[in-house]
Amino acid sequence: MGVTKTQNFTQEQNQVATYAKALAHPARVAILQYLLKKQTCICGDLVEELPLAQATVSQHLKELKAIGLIKGTVEGTSVCYCIDQHKWEEVRDVLLNLFSSPIACQDSCC
């Protein structure tokens, strides 16, 4: 085993899970925070910023790129990364939607 039974859950449930997984590592959160602050940066900046080897940073960037949260543009020998605003808002909205549900019971349950 070891494989999530994706097909048995709703699209929304899988979407939340997918987006949450992208945020489920401090390095990826750090990358996003850095991009939010600097607007744009090259891979090398992140390698200096993060306590990880170049190969590892590149791998995290690949994951963020895979779900579309960031995009990279080749600029000479460097690659310039930035957040994809549209996807960023979509992820925010999907997560917000989950948390927007009111909690009916308040400590009185169970």
Partner DNA sequence: AACATTAATCGTAGCATTGCGATATAATAA
Partner DNA sequence: TTATTATATCGCAATGCTACGATTAATGTT
Residues lying near DNA in the complex (CB under 7 A) are found at 1-5, 21, 24-25, 27, 42-44, 47, 52-56, 58-63, 72, 74, 76-79
Enumerate residues 6+ apart whose C-beta is below 8 A from 65. Answer: 71, 72
Site string for a second copy, 31-70 (x = CB under 8 A): -xx--xx-xx---------xxx------------------
CB atoms inside a 10 Å sphere around CB 60: 20
Binding residues for a second copy, rule: CB under 8 A, are: 4-6, 8-10, 12-14, 16-17, 20-30, 32-33, 36-37, 39-40, 50-52, 71-73, 75, 80-83, 85, 88, 91-92, 95-96, 98-99, 101, 103-107, 109-110
